Amino acid sequence: MAFAAPASTDLKTALGHIAEQARPGTMGIAVMNVADGRVVKVSGNRSYLMMSAFKAPIAAAVLARVDSGELKLDQRVRLVPGDVVPGSAVPSLGDQLKAGALDVSVEALLRAAVTQSDNTAADALLRLLGGGAVATHFLQSKGIAGMRIDMGERELGQRLNGFRSTEPSPARESALAAEQREKRGFEAVLASKVNTTTLDGAVAFLDKLQSGRLLSTSSTRMLLGMMTAQIIPNRLRSGLPAGFQLADKTGTDVTYQDRLGAWNDMGIITTPDGRRVIVAIFLSDSLATPKQADAWFAEIGRLVAASMH
């Protein structure tokens, strides 16, 4: 089978056209042919808010601790109702914790965080590591620059809502004051560098993962399996032909009024005969509807798959 390298002019032009449609939002796209390392990029000179896409690198940092013997997959982590962070693609740990404290294995937390995008599990894993700085240090130690993890889902959610801490909303806050606070928080997070990645950082993470340069063979297989089983199929995955496989992690920010904060997908596409391409797409501060954003991501999946004829 011939391979039409993703760095081809035709593919870059087509991807650029989709990115133009996303304006006034910014769509960053990177496609790398694993076989020869060639990359095509659109809007690659900035950082993008990862949102839940950061759960894959957090899981990698935890699995590295498993590889070193510092953690065990069957090790139990105590969670209490106060640990619940809203947000999951399916009925989550938060639902289970309504009945009281739980002892959850590290492996179960990993699967919940990556496959189900469970926020409670992600924050528990980050606490287990010792915080975002530890996860970022792991990435840097593996030569992954441009990707940083600063905080968990709870703290980021508070910032998006315009709070500097976990204090509840003021009891007598007016609707106008609440709207202004939420707008400030939304815009401040989008303008910040917290929990962000460059396209190069995302590609480097995925490349080192798929090539076995990030984790042991067993941990690599586990993380790629959890990413392949991700239950959100409506972005890149929905544009791929039958027989193509995708190991990915999506990420989604809240919508403020008509502004879509972040709509992301990053993953490794594998053809039926085993060839691989890495794709990272980060859509920031867009006026698109989620349905339109999904359509763009699916079209990118179709374009990339077509380039692998």
Tokens of 301: 């999946």
The DSSP bridge partners found for residue 196 are: 49
Which pLDDT belongs to residue 186?
85
| pLDDT: which is higher, 205 or 173 | 205
Q: Are 183 and 255 in contact (CB under 8 A)?
A: no
Is the confidence at residue 166, as pLDDT, over 60?
Answer: no
d(CA 60, CA 63): 5
Q: Are 71 and 128 in contact (CB under 8 A)?
A: yes
Residue 116 region by backbone torsions, left for phi larger than 0, else alpha for psi between -120 and 50, else beta: alpha
| 29-70 pLDDT, tens digit each | 999 999 999 999 999 999 999 999 999 999 999 999 999 999
Count each helix (H run) and each strand (E run) in the chain, helices first: 11, 10
Instruction: Give the residue carrying structure tokens 């919508």.
Output: 255
Is the confidence at residue 300, as pLDDT, over 80?
Answer: yes
| pLDDT: which is higher, 200 or 190 | 200
Give the start-to-end residue ranges of the domains of the chain: 9-306
Tokens of 21: 């449609």
Beta strand ranges found along 151-302 (DSSP E): 196-198, 245-252, 255-256, 259-270, 276-286
- Identity of the amino acid at 210: Q
Q: Are 306 and 5 in contact (CB under 8 A)?
A: no
- CATH number of this structure's domain 9-306: 3.40.710.10
Against a cut of 0.95, is the pTM above it? Answer: no
d(CA 1, CA 236): 23
Is the confidence at residue 1, as pLDDT, over 50?
Answer: no
What radius of gyration, in Å, describes the C-alpha atoms of the chain?
Answer: 19
Instruction: Please tell me the number of Cα atoms within 13 Å of 65 on its side-chain side.
Output: 22
Give the DSSP H/E element, type plus range, for residue 26. strand 26-33
d(CA 168, CA 165): 9
